[in-house]
């Protein structure tokens, strides 16, 4: 199947990045969200990120204008029905994702491919609640989408080869690299990354090191570009906790038990950068550790 039009569900951090890279690659994009404010913010962020690419001579001003013209927005989820490919990038809650697909189903073309940008939820289970499990797969971008080179492609138990090849072609067209992952909890990247972040939170919780010493140790001692606690704040502590719960529930191994301190921060609403407080306080000129 030759994919030309893509519907993106959710105009948040991931959704606007996905819309950005697709539009630059020549796809017609329809971006959906339940909030007009979210759509306006997404377009402003896409404009800003495209301008950054122009200033770095990655694209031309003409490329920017053409890409922006390819992105349309809508508050009506059903408007995405005629799209060749739909990428769901809503909040990381299975009930929300399932409801989105249920609402979309009556409006889809028979050949439309459905995908989810989920970072951890079972693709097989999501697919089983649609009328096209063979045309359903995981399409997991990394954050920030315009910068990160990897896309995890996850086949459910029913995903057919034609669907996989069509999605692989999209990944290649947007200039990224695909990693094929089997449909097990958290796939590849988060299966490895999240336990490391959780262990860093345990290291803080047990008093082995401070926020500053833990992050500096991993940056300077392991050559990581960001410390694990800084990275957790960037991802969102609620997302980190959700993925740890998926790992713990799905694999039933105590090594994936979320750290109680991570749970406490989420209960406090200190979710990282997006709420201005997490393991760091971002309300001043420079981030200050909260422990």
Look up 20 and say whether it is catalytic: no
- Residue 232, annotated ligand binder? no
Look up 190 and say whether it is catalytic: yes
Look up 173 and say whether it is catalytic: no
> What pLDDT, on a 0 to 100 scale, did the predictor assign at position 63?
97
Catalytic annotation, pick one of 49, 88, 116, 140: 140
> What pLDDT, on a 0 to 100 scale, did the predictor assign at position 120?
86
> What pLDDT, on a 0 to 100 scale, did the predictor assign at position 163?
98
- Residue 199, annotated ligand binder? no
Catalytic annotation, pick one of 120, 190, 198, 230: 190
Given CATH 3.40.50.970, say whether it is the number of domain 5-182. no
Q: In the chain, where are the structural domains located?
A: 5-182, 190-289
Q: Which two tokens stand for residue 205?
A: 């919780």
Evaluate if pTM is beyond 0.85.
Answer: yes
> What pLDDT, on a 0 to 100 scale, did the predictor assign at position 243?
92
Tell me the pLDDT tens digit for each residue of 50-80: 999 999 999 999 999 999 999 999 999 999 9
> What pLDDT, on a 0 to 100 scale, did the predictor assign at position 91?
87
- Residue 92, annotated ligand binder? yes
Residue identified by tokens 């971008």 is 141
Q: Which two tokens stand for residue 40?
A: 């306006």
> What pLDDT, on a 0 to 100 scale, did the predictor assign at position 273?
96
- Residue 278, annotated ligand binder? no
Look up 198 and say whether it is catalytic: no
Low-confidence stretches of the chain (pLDDT beneath 70): none
- Residue 14, annotated ligand binder? yes
- Residue 172, annotated ligand binder? no
Catalytic annotation, pick one of 16, 117, 152, 230: 152
Catalytic annotation, pick one of 119, 120, 122, 198: 119
What top-level class would CATH report for the domain 190-289?
mainly alpha
């Amino acid at each position: 199947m030759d994919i030309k039009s893509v519907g993106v569900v959710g105009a948040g951090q991931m959704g606007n990045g996905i819309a950005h890279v697709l539009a630059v690659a020549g796809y017609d994009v329809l971006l959906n969200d339940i909030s007009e404010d979210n759509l306006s913010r997404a377009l402003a962020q896409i404009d800003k990120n495209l301008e950054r690419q122009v200033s770095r001579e990655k694209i031309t001003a003409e490329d920017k204008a053409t890409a922006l013209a390819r992105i349309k927005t809508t508050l009506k989820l059903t408007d995405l029905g005629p799209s060749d490919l739909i990428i769901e990038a809503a909040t990381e809650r299975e009930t929300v994702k399932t409801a989105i697909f249920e609402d979309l189903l009556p409006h889809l073309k028979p050949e439309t491919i459905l995908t989810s940008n989920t970072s951890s939820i079972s693709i097989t289970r999501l697919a089983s609640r649609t009328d096209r499990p063979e045309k359903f797969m995981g399409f997991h971008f990394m954050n920030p989408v315009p910068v990160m080179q990897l896309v995890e492609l996850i086949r459910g138990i029913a995903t057919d080869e034609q669907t996989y090849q069509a999605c692989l072609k999209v990944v290649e067209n947007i200039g990224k690299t695909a990693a094929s992952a089997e449909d097990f909890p958290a796939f590849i990247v988060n299966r490895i990354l999240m336990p490391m972040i959780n262990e860093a939170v345990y290291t803080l919780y047990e008093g082995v090191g401070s926020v500053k010493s833990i992050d500096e140790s991993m940056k300077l001692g392991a050559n990581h570009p960001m410390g694990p606690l800084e990275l957790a704040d960037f991802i969102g502590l609620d997302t980190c906790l959700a993925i740890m719960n998926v790992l713990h529930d799905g694999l039933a191994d105590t090594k994936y038990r979320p750290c109680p301190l991570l749970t406490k921060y989420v209960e406090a609403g200190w979710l990282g950068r997006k709420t201005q407080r997490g393991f760091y306080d971002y309300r001043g000129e420079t981030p200050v550790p909260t422990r």
